[in-house]
Structure 1
Protein backbone atom coordinates (compact mmCIF):
# COMPACT_ATOMS: atom_id res chain seq x y z
CA UNK A 1 0.00 0.00 0.00
CA UNK A 2 1.16 3.51 -0.84
CA UNK A 3 -0.13 6.59 0.98
CA UNK A 4 0.17 9.79 -1.01
CA UNK A 5 0.91 12.99 0.91
CA UNK A 6 -0.11 16.49 -0.14
CA UNK A 7 0.64 19.85 1.37
CA UNK A 8 -2.24 22.16 2.24
CA UNK A 9 -2.43 25.95 2.45
CA UNK A 10 -2.04 25.48 6.21
CA UNK A 11 1.67 24.75 6.84
CA UNK A 12 0.79 22.89 10.05
CA UNK A 13 -1.44 20.42 8.20
CA UNK A 14 -0.68 17.64 5.73
CA UNK A 15 -3.26 15.69 3.74
CA UNK A 16 -2.77 11.91 3.54
CA UNK A 17 -4.49 9.93 0.77
CA UNK A 18 -4.54 6.17 1.40
CA UNK A 19 -5.99 5.38 -2.03
CA UNK A 20 -9.22 4.07 -0.54
CA UNK A 21 -12.33 5.38 1.14
CA UNK A 22 -11.82 6.78 4.62
CA UNK A 23 -15.39 7.91 5.38
CA UNK A 24 -18.45 6.50 3.59
CA UNK A 25 -20.45 9.64 4.35
CA UNK A 26 -19.84 12.97 6.04
CA UNK A 27 -16.65 14.11 7.70
CA UNK A 28 -15.28 13.92 11.21
CA UNK A 29 -12.92 16.28 13.00
CA UNK A 30 -10.99 15.66 16.23
CA UNK A 31 -9.46 18.68 17.94
CA UNK A 32 -8.47 17.09 21.25
CA UNK A 33 -7.29 13.74 22.63
CA UNK A 34 -10.63 13.42 24.43
CA UNK A 35 -12.58 13.70 21.16
CA UNK A 36 -10.15 11.25 19.55
CA UNK A 37 -11.19 8.49 21.96
CA UNK A 38 -14.03 7.72 19.52
CA UNK A 39 -11.48 6.59 16.90
CA UNK A 40 -8.50 4.29 17.56
CA UNK A 41 -6.65 5.82 14.59
CA UNK A 42 -7.21 9.41 15.73
CA UNK A 43 -6.26 8.45 19.28
CA UNK A 44 -3.01 6.84 18.06
CA UNK A 45 -2.19 9.98 16.07
CA UNK A 46 -2.80 12.22 19.10
CA UNK A 47 -0.65 9.86 21.19
CA UNK A 48 2.33 10.89 19.05
CA UNK A 49 2.37 14.07 21.12
CA UNK A 50 2.80 16.68 18.40
CA UNK A 51 -0.60 16.14 16.75
CA UNK A 52 -3.25 18.75 17.57
CA UNK A 53 -5.92 17.87 15.00
CA UNK A 54 -7.16 14.98 12.88
CA UNK A 55 -9.78 15.30 10.16
CA UNK A 56 -11.37 12.46 8.17
CA UNK A 57 -12.71 13.26 4.72
CA UNK A 58 -14.17 10.88 2.16
CA UNK A 59 -10.81 9.77 0.76
CA UNK A 60 -8.25 11.50 2.95
CA UNK A 61 -6.99 12.10 6.47
CA UNK A 62 -5.65 15.56 7.36
CA UNK A 63 -3.30 15.80 10.32
CA UNK A 64 -2.34 19.06 12.05
CA UNK A 65 0.74 19.40 14.23
CA UNK A 66 1.49 21.82 17.05
CA UNK A 67 3.36 25.09 16.54
CA UNK A 68 7.08 24.41 16.73
CA UNK A 69 6.74 20.76 15.67
CA UNK A 70 8.44 19.79 12.42
CA UNK A 71 6.80 17.64 9.77
CA UNK A 72 10.19 16.06 9.02
CA UNK A 73 10.07 14.55 12.54
CA UNK A 74 6.35 13.66 12.68
CA UNK A 75 5.53 12.56 9.12
CA UNK A 76 7.23 9.13 9.25
CA UNK A 77 5.33 8.26 12.45
CA UNK A 78 2.01 9.43 10.99
CA UNK A 79 2.59 7.43 7.80
CA UNK A 80 3.43 4.34 9.84
CA UNK A 81 0.21 4.61 11.87
CA UNK A 82 -1.88 5.20 8.75
CA UNK A 83 -0.29 2.28 6.91
CA UNK A 84 -0.87 -0.05 9.85
CA UNK A 85 -4.48 1.05 10.12
CA UNK A 86 -5.42 0.72 6.45
CA UNK A 87 -3.46 -2.48 5.79
CA UNK A 88 -5.06 -4.19 8.81
CA UNK A 89 -8.50 -2.83 7.80
CA UNK A 90 -9.11 -1.92 11.44
CA UNK A 91 -12.36 -0.08 12.21
CA UNK A 92 -12.11 3.69 12.08
CA UNK A 93 -14.35 4.14 15.11
CA UNK A 94 -14.82 2.40 18.44
CA UNK A 95 -17.41 -0.33 18.03
CA UNK A 96 -16.95 -0.26 14.25
CA UNK A 97 -19.65 2.39 13.81
CA UNK A 98 -19.48 4.67 10.80
CA UNK A 99 -19.05 7.73 13.00
CA UNK A 100 -19.59 10.18 10.17
CA UNK A 101 -20.75 13.54 11.35
CA UNK A 102 -21.27 16.18 8.71
CA UNK A 103 -22.31 18.86 11.19
CA UNK A 104 -20.79 18.88 14.68
CA UNK A 105 -22.78 20.31 17.58
CA UNK A 106 -23.07 24.08 17.23
CA UNK A 107 -21.61 26.35 19.88
CA UNK A 108 -24.13 29.00 18.86
CA UNK A 109 -27.45 28.69 17.09
CA UNK A 110 -27.45 31.13 14.16
CA UNK A 111 -30.86 29.90 13.04
CA UNK A 112 -32.57 30.44 9.73
CA UNK A 113 -35.71 32.50 9.27
CA UNK A 114 -38.33 30.28 7.59
CA UNK A 115 -39.05 33.23 5.25
CA UNK A 116 -35.50 32.80 3.91
CA UNK A 117 -35.96 29.12 2.98
CA UNK A 118 -35.37 29.68 -0.76
CA UNK A 119 -32.27 31.78 -0.13
CA UNK A 120 -30.90 29.23 2.36
CA UNK A 121 -31.45 26.43 -0.16
CA UNK A 122 -29.49 28.38 -2.81
CA UNK A 123 -26.66 29.02 -0.33
CA UNK A 124 -26.50 25.38 0.75
CA UNK A 125 -26.52 24.20 -2.87
CA UNK A 126 -23.61 26.50 -3.80
CA UNK A 127 -21.65 25.41 -0.74
CA UNK A 128 -22.26 21.74 -1.52
CA UNK A 129 -21.50 21.90 -5.25
CA UNK A 130 -18.89 24.66 -5.53
CA UNK A 131 -17.24 25.30 -2.17
CA UNK A 132 -16.95 21.98 -0.35
CA UNK A 133 -15.18 20.14 -3.21
CA UNK A 134 -12.59 22.93 -3.46
CA UNK A 135 -12.05 23.04 0.29
CA UNK A 136 -11.74 19.21 0.40
CA UNK A 137 -8.91 19.49 -2.13
CA UNK A 138 -7.06 21.51 0.52
CA UNK A 139 -7.66 18.88 3.21
CA UNK A 140 -10.62 20.42 4.98
CA UNK A 141 -14.32 21.02 4.97
CA UNK A 142 -16.74 23.87 5.43
CA UNK A 143 -20.02 23.54 7.27
CA UNK A 144 -23.06 25.77 6.84
CA UNK A 145 -24.16 27.14 10.24
CA UNK A 146 -26.87 29.63 9.39
CA UNK A 147 -28.13 32.67 7.53
CA UNK A 148 -29.42 35.70 9.38
CA UNK A 149 -29.93 39.30 8.28
CA UNK A 150 -27.82 38.90 5.13
CA UNK A 151 -24.94 37.17 6.91
CA UNK A 152 -23.91 33.58 6.14
CA UNK A 153 -22.18 31.76 9.00
CA UNK A 154 -19.75 29.00 8.06
CA UNK A 155 -17.44 26.78 10.09
CA UNK A 156 -14.04 25.78 8.72
CA UNK A 157 -12.71 22.30 9.57
CA UNK A 158 -9.59 20.23 9.04
CA UNK A 159 -6.71 21.96 7.29
CA UNK A 160 -8.89 25.04 6.81
CA UNK A 161 -9.41 25.57 10.53
CA UNK A 162 -6.70 27.92 11.71
CA UNK A 163 -5.16 28.21 8.26
CA UNK A 164 -3.48 31.57 7.64
CA UNK A 165 -5.41 31.94 4.37
CA UNK A 166 -8.84 30.93 5.74
CA UNK A 167 -9.97 34.55 6.17
CA UNK A 168 -9.03 35.30 2.57
CA UNK A 169 -10.83 32.14 1.45
CA UNK A 170 -13.98 33.19 3.31
CA UNK A 171 -13.94 36.83 2.20
CA UNK A 172 -12.42 36.77 -1.28
CA UNK A 173 -13.58 33.38 -2.44
CA UNK A 174 -16.73 32.19 -0.75
CA UNK A 175 -18.26 35.58 0.03
CA UNK A 176 -17.72 36.77 -3.55
CA UNK A 177 -19.24 33.58 -4.97
CA UNK A 178 -22.30 33.70 -2.72
CA UNK A 179 -22.87 37.43 -3.29
CA UNK A 180 -22.67 36.88 -7.04
CA UNK A 181 -25.29 34.13 -7.15
CA UNK A 182 -27.43 35.10 -4.13
CA UNK A 183 -28.04 38.87 -3.95
CA UNK A 184 -29.49 38.56 -0.43
CA UNK A 185 -26.03 37.67 0.90
CA UNK A 186 -24.19 40.72 2.28
CA UNK A 187 -21.37 39.03 4.19
CA UNK A 188 -19.81 35.68 5.15
CA UNK A 189 -18.46 35.12 8.66
CA UNK A 190 -16.64 32.31 10.39
CA UNK A 191 -18.78 30.61 13.02
Structure 2
Protein backbone atom coordinates (compact mmCIF):
# COMPACT_ATOMS: atom_id res chain seq x y z
CA UNK A 1 0.00 0.00 0.00
CA UNK A 2 1.15 3.52 -0.82
CA UNK A 3 -0.11 6.70 0.86
CA UNK A 4 0.13 9.78 -1.35
CA UNK A 5 0.41 13.23 0.17
CA UNK A 6 -0.60 16.56 -1.24
CA UNK A 7 -0.09 20.08 0.02
CA UNK A 8 -3.10 22.28 0.72
CA UNK A 9 -3.49 26.06 0.61
CA UNK A 10 -3.11 25.89 4.40
CA UNK A 11 0.63 25.49 5.05
CA UNK A 12 -0.11 23.82 8.40
CA UNK A 13 -2.18 21.04 6.75
CA UNK A 14 -1.33 18.09 4.53
CA UNK A 15 -3.74 15.86 2.67
CA UNK A 16 -3.05 12.11 2.90
CA UNK A 17 -4.64 9.88 0.24
CA UNK A 18 -4.61 6.13 0.93
CA UNK A 19 -5.94 5.20 -2.53
CA UNK A 20 -9.18 3.87 -1.10
CA UNK A 21 -12.39 5.12 0.46
CA UNK A 22 -12.06 6.71 3.88
CA UNK A 23 -15.62 7.84 4.61
CA UNK A 24 -18.48 5.94 2.94
CA UNK A 25 -20.58 9.12 3.04
CA UNK A 26 -20.17 12.63 4.37
CA UNK A 27 -17.14 13.96 6.18
CA UNK A 28 -15.99 14.09 9.79
CA UNK A 29 -13.83 16.63 11.58
CA UNK A 30 -11.94 16.10 14.83
CA UNK A 31 -10.91 19.55 16.12
CA UNK A 32 -9.34 18.23 19.33
CA UNK A 33 -8.20 15.01 21.05
CA UNK A 34 -11.50 14.67 22.92
CA UNK A 35 -13.48 14.56 19.68
CA UNK A 36 -10.96 12.06 18.28
CA UNK A 37 -11.94 9.50 20.92
CA UNK A 38 -14.72 8.44 18.52
CA UNK A 39 -12.12 7.18 16.03
CA UNK A 40 -9.10 5.02 16.83
CA UNK A 41 -7.39 6.38 13.70
CA UNK A 42 -7.97 10.04 14.56
CA UNK A 43 -6.94 9.35 18.15
CA UNK A 44 -3.67 7.70 17.02
CA UNK A 45 -2.86 10.74 14.88
CA UNK A 46 -3.57 13.09 17.82
CA UNK A 47 -1.41 10.86 20.05
CA UNK A 48 1.65 12.13 18.16
CA UNK A 49 1.16 15.26 20.27
CA UNK A 50 1.87 17.44 17.25
CA UNK A 51 -1.57 17.74 15.65
CA UNK A 52 -4.43 20.23 16.12
CA UNK A 53 -7.02 18.90 13.66
CA UNK A 54 -7.84 15.68 11.79
CA UNK A 55 -10.42 15.61 9.01
CA UNK A 56 -11.82 12.57 7.17
CA UNK A 57 -13.03 13.15 3.61
CA UNK A 58 -14.40 10.62 1.15
CA UNK A 59 -10.95 9.47 -0.01
CA UNK A 60 -8.48 11.48 2.06
CA UNK A 61 -7.41 12.44 5.57
CA UNK A 62 -6.33 16.04 6.16
CA UNK A 63 -4.06 16.61 9.14
CA UNK A 64 -3.18 20.00 10.61
CA UNK A 65 0.13 20.31 12.43
CA UNK A 66 0.44 22.30 15.65
CA UNK A 67 2.21 25.67 15.44
CA UNK A 68 5.97 25.26 15.16
CA UNK A 69 5.82 21.59 14.10
CA UNK A 70 7.79 20.72 10.97
CA UNK A 71 6.13 18.40 8.47
CA UNK A 72 9.48 16.76 7.75
CA UNK A 73 9.29 15.13 11.20
CA UNK A 74 5.50 14.68 11.47
CA UNK A 75 4.72 13.35 7.98
CA UNK A 76 6.49 9.96 8.41
CA UNK A 77 4.67 9.43 11.73
CA UNK A 78 1.27 10.10 10.15
CA UNK A 79 2.03 7.91 7.13
CA UNK A 80 3.04 5.07 9.46
CA UNK A 81 -0.19 5.40 11.47
CA UNK A 82 -2.27 5.43 8.29
CA UNK A 83 -0.46 2.42 6.81
CA UNK A 84 -0.97 0.43 10.02
CA UNK A 85 -4.64 1.35 10.09
CA UNK A 86 -5.48 0.58 6.46
CA UNK A 87 -3.34 -2.56 6.15
CA UNK A 88 -4.94 -4.03 9.28
CA UNK A 89 -8.41 -3.03 7.99
CA UNK A 90 -9.25 -1.65 11.43
CA UNK A 91 -12.60 0.13 11.80
CA UNK A 92 -12.56 3.87 11.28
CA UNK A 93 -14.80 4.52 14.27
CA UNK A 94 -15.21 2.98 17.69
CA UNK A 95 -18.20 0.67 17.32
CA UNK A 96 -17.49 0.09 13.63
CA UNK A 97 -18.95 3.08 11.82
CA UNK A 98 -19.85 6.73 12.14
CA UNK A 99 -23.60 6.21 11.82
CA UNK A 100 -24.21 5.65 15.52
CA UNK A 101 -21.90 8.37 16.76
CA UNK A 102 -23.54 11.71 17.40
CA UNK A 103 -21.49 14.84 16.91
CA UNK A 104 -22.84 17.64 19.11
CA UNK A 105 -24.02 20.59 17.06
CA UNK A 106 -22.78 19.14 13.75
CA UNK A 107 -26.08 19.67 11.98
CA UNK A 108 -27.29 22.59 14.08
CA UNK A 109 -28.29 25.71 12.18
CA UNK A 110 -26.69 28.92 13.32
CA UNK A 111 -29.80 30.97 12.59
CA UNK A 112 -33.51 30.28 12.60
CA UNK A 113 -34.60 30.23 8.97
CA UNK A 114 -37.77 31.68 7.52
CA UNK A 115 -39.78 28.90 5.79
CA UNK A 116 -40.62 31.43 3.05
CA UNK A 117 -36.96 31.22 1.98
CA UNK A 118 -37.08 27.48 1.25
CA UNK A 119 -36.51 27.97 -2.50
CA UNK A 120 -33.54 30.28 -1.90
CA UNK A 121 -32.03 27.84 0.63
CA UNK A 122 -32.46 25.00 -1.86
CA UNK A 123 -30.61 27.02 -4.53
CA UNK A 124 -27.81 27.85 -2.08
CA UNK A 125 -27.41 24.22 -1.04
CA UNK A 126 -27.42 23.04 -4.66
CA UNK A 127 -24.59 25.45 -5.53
CA UNK A 128 -22.65 24.45 -2.42
CA UNK A 129 -23.01 20.77 -3.27
CA UNK A 130 -22.20 20.98 -6.97
CA UNK A 131 -19.77 23.88 -7.27
CA UNK A 132 -18.19 24.64 -3.89
CA UNK A 133 -17.86 21.33 -2.01
CA UNK A 134 -15.78 19.59 -4.74
CA UNK A 135 -13.32 22.51 -4.87
CA UNK A 136 -13.01 22.70 -1.09
CA UNK A 137 -12.52 18.90 -0.87
CA UNK A 138 -9.69 19.26 -3.37
CA UNK A 139 -8.00 21.51 -0.83
CA UNK A 140 -8.45 19.00 2.01
CA UNK A 141 -11.61 20.33 3.60
CA UNK A 142 -15.35 20.66 3.50
CA UNK A 143 -17.99 23.33 3.88
CA UNK A 144 -21.09 23.15 6.04
CA UNK A 145 -24.20 25.24 5.51
CA UNK A 146 -25.28 26.84 8.81
CA UNK A 147 -28.18 29.03 7.77
CA UNK A 148 -29.61 31.91 5.72
CA UNK A 149 -31.29 35.01 7.07
CA UNK A 150 -31.71 38.60 5.89
CA UNK A 151 -29.60 37.96 2.78
CA UNK A 152 -26.69 36.52 4.77
CA UNK A 153 -25.48 32.95 4.23
CA UNK A 154 -23.66 31.40 7.20
CA UNK A 155 -21.05 28.77 6.33
CA UNK A 156 -18.45 26.83 8.27
CA UNK A 157 -15.18 25.71 6.69
CA UNK A 158 -13.74 22.43 7.99
CA UNK A 159 -10.56 20.41 7.72
CA UNK A 160 -7.53 22.04 6.13
CA UNK A 161 -9.75 24.97 5.15
CA UNK A 162 -10.81 25.91 8.68
CA UNK A 163 -7.49 27.42 9.72
CA UNK A 164 -6.22 28.39 6.31
CA UNK A 165 -4.82 31.91 5.94
CA UNK A 166 -6.84 32.30 2.73
CA UNK A 167 -10.17 31.13 4.24
CA UNK A 168 -11.54 34.68 4.43
CA UNK A 169 -10.71 35.22 0.76
CA UNK A 170 -12.31 31.88 -0.10
CA UNK A 171 -15.53 32.87 1.66
CA UNK A 172 -15.67 36.51 0.60
CA UNK A 173 -14.28 36.51 -2.92
CA UNK A 174 -14.96 32.98 -4.08
CA UNK A 175 -18.09 31.61 -2.48
CA UNK A 176 -19.82 34.94 -1.84
CA UNK A 177 -19.30 36.02 -5.45
CA UNK A 178 -20.64 32.72 -6.79
CA UNK A 179 -23.73 32.74 -4.55
CA UNK A 180 -24.51 36.41 -5.22
CA UNK A 181 -24.23 35.79 -8.97
CA UNK A 182 -26.65 32.85 -9.05
CA UNK A 183 -28.92 33.72 -6.10
CA UNK A 184 -29.79 37.45 -6.12
CA UNK A 185 -31.27 37.21 -2.61
CA UNK A 186 -27.78 36.60 -1.21
CA UNK A 187 -26.07 39.80 -0.12
CA UNK A 188 -23.24 38.44 2.02
CA UNK A 189 -21.49 35.27 3.20
CA UNK A 190 -20.20 34.99 6.77
CA UNK A 191 -18.16 32.40 8.60
CA UNK A 192 -20.20 30.59 11.24
1:50·1:66 contact (CA, 8 Å) conserved in 2?
yes
CA shift digits 1:20-72 (9 cap, x unpaired)? 00000110000111110000000000000001110000000000010100000
Instruction: Give the direction of change, closer, same or farther, for the CA distance of 1:104–1:158 in structure 2 (3 Å limit).
Output: farther
2:41·2:92 contact (CA, 8 Å) conserved in 1?
yes
1:25·1:100 contact (CA, 8 Å) conserved in 2?
no
Aligned partners of 1:109 and 1:158: how far apart in 2?
19
Q: Which residue of 1 aligns with 2:154?
A: 153
Q: Are positions 1:82 and 2:82 aligned together?
A: yes
Q: Which residue of 2 aligns with 1:129?
A: 130
Shift of 1:109: 3.0
1:27·1:100 contact (CA, 8 Å) conserved in 2?
no
Q: Which residue of 1 aligns with 2:34?
A: 34
2:13·2:62 contact (CA, 8 Å) conserved in 1?
yes
Question: When the two structures are superposed, what TM-score results if normalisation uses the length of structure 1?
Answer: 0.96
Shift of 1:108: 6.5
- Tell me the C-alpha RMSD between the 2 structures: 1.7
Shift of 1:162: 1.1
The gaps in structure 2 that reach 5 residues or longer are: none
Q: Which residue of 2 aligns with 1:6?
A: 6
Q: How many residue pairs align between the two structures? A: 191
Q: Which residue of 1 aligns with 2:189?
A: 188
